[in-house]
């Protein structure tokens, strides 16, 4: 106990009274798409981002182990010192090809990429134009994009979620202002499961000379030709960010764009310059996932079919409609306490569906964020729908 602990304990009590206190829940992977609790209970996973089930694919485990055995367990330093291996450059070249870009640059996580790339772009604007960068940001962007703007000392110009008419109005109002203009969005929004209109955003970027920055974390692997995401093949997307930690079953992230962009980030993105390079095992798994990705059309089609079916079931059960059109399906609960109640009910039914509460989502929009997994069966999805139906009758 320190003299400061009463402050922490009081703050934690305040969070608990608002149903916002978070706790860790240790889980062990079990079978194809299940977890086990420390008490031995098996839970069917509808919460992780392992959309294609690749985190438990034997090829990823084999290639991760081979890379570690061959090159060691750590990279030893940042990429700019002694941390760059042939495997880093191989994976970067493969990502660039997947995204149809000249180059790519690896980061430790999607958060790190977004949080450090935005300040690097802001520095470019200041140094080369003498003006502060303008960021036009979707209101529902991931927290890492908001953090990147805050770290750069930028006030975001926020447009209503997926409202491109509003975005165009904001662009028109500032068309004559100097400085780099960045449009920042996700392609699939992580808490809502809906999509941005990437071709329409690209057309706006072209019309107003803006730099289009798209976070593809929840689209890559699942959507687009061969799982390449929603930006692949769309011109005027200046930067595509994505991760290996969702559908690709591993860890790490990347930025893909022009060679000049990646070279600038290599020099000025603090999350790249000052961070230890990804280890060989992570790169081995990423390389294996990229081998598997083109041949997973059936898994992607299965995810889409199950998601459509589950959305129809939720509508029939009276759950609030959403704009979800992907493998991410929010079940809206409203208040945080109600979301926690639903999570507990499903856990009793042997289903893992974690409550998402403020500040991750706006107040009054707490939810269960259902994430479908291609390793599951139709019967698993039917089991979830039946449990949600039983809960709805308790209202």
b vs e for 96-127, b when ≥16 Cβ sit within 10 Å of the residue's Cβ?
bebbebebbbbbbbbbbbbbbbbbbbbbbbee
3-state secondary structure the chain: CCCCHHHHHHHHHHHHHCCCCCCCCCCEEECCCEEECCCCCEEEECCCCCCCCHHHCHHHHHHHHHHHHHHCCCCCCEHHHHHCCHHHHHHHHHHHHHHCCCEEEEECCHHHHHHHHHHHHHHHHHHHHCCCCEEEEECCCCHHHHHHHHHCCCCCEEECCCCHHHHHHHHHHCCCCCCCEEEEEECECCCCCCECCHHHHHHHHHHHCCEEEEECCCCCCCCCHHHCCCCCCCCCCCEEEEECCCCCCCCCEEEEECHHHHHHHHHHCHHHHCCECCCHHHHHHHHHHHHHHHHCHHHHHHHHHHHHHHHHHHHHCCCCCCCCCCCEEEEEEECHHHHHHHHHHHHHCCEECCEECCCCCCCCCEEEEEECCCCCCHHHHHHHHHHHHHHHCCC
Active-site choice (101, 146, 218, 268): 218
Active-site choice (50, 92, 186, 287): 186
Active-site choice (55, 190, 240, 373): 190
User: Catalytic: 161?
Assistant: no
User: Catalytic: 116?
Assistant: no
* 195, 231 Cβ separation under 8 angstroms: no
Q: Among positive and negative, which fits the CA dihedral 260, 264, 269, 272?
A: positive
User: Catalytic: 181?
Assistant: no
Active-site choice (101, 146, 181, 246): 246
Active-site choice (57, 88, 99, 142): 142
User: Catalytic: 162?
Assistant: no
Among 258, 226, 222, residue whose Cα is nearest residue 240: 258
User: Catalytic: 190?
Assistant: yes
Active-site choice (45, 47, 49, 287): 49
Residues taking part in catalysis? 49, 142, 186, 190, 215, 218, 246
């Amino acid at each position: 106990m320190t003299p400061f602990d009463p402050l922490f304990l009081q703050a934690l009590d305040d969070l608990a009274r608002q149903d916002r206190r978070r706790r860790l829940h240790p889980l062990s992977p079990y079978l194809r798409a299940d977890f086990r609790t420390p008490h031995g209970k098996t839970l069917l996973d509808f919460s992780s981002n392992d959309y294609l089930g690749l985190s438990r694919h034997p090829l990823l485990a084999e290639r991760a182990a081979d890379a570690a055995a061959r090159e060691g367990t750590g990279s030893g330093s940042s990429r700019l010192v002694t941390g760059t291996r042939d495997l880093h450059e191989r994976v970067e070249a493969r990502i660039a090809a997947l995204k149809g870009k000249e180059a790519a640059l690896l980061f430790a996580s999607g958060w790190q990429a977004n949080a450090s790339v935005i300040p690097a772009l802001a520095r470019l604007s200041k140094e080369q134009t003498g003006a502060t960068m303008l960021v036009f940001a979707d209101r529902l962007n991931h927290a890492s994009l908001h953090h990147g703007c805050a770290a750069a000392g930028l006030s975001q110009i926020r447009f209503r979620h997926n409202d491109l008419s509003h975005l165009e109005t904001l662009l028109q109002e500032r068309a004559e202002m100097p400085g780099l203009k960045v449009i920042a969005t996700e392609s699939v929004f992580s808490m809502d499961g809906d999509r941005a209109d990437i071709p329409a955003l690209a057309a706006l970027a072209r019309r107003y000379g803006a730099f289009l920055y798209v976070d593809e974390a929840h689209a890559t692997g699942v959507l687009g030709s061969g799982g390449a995401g929603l930006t692949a093949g769309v011109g005027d997307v200046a930067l595509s960010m994505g991760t290996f930690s969702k559908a690709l079953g591993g860890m790490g992230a990347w930025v893909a764009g022009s060679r000049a962009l990646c070279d600038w980030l290599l020099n000025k993105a603090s999350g790249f310059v000052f961070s230890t390079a990804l280890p060989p095992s992570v790169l081995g798994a990423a390389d294996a996932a990229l081998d598997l990705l083109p041949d997973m059309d059936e898994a992607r089609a299965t995810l889409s079919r199950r998601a459509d079916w589950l959305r129809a079931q939720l509508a029939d059960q009276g759950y609030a409609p959403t704009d979800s059109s992907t493998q991410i399906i929010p079940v809206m609960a409203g208040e945080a306490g109600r979301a926690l109640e639903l999570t507990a009910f499903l856990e009793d039914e042997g289903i893992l569906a974690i409550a998402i509460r403020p500040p991750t989502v706006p107040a009054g929009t707490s939810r269960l964020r259902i994430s479908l997994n291609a390793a599951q069966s139709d019967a698993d999805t039917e089991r979830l729908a039946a449990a949600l139906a039983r809960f709805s009758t308790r209202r």
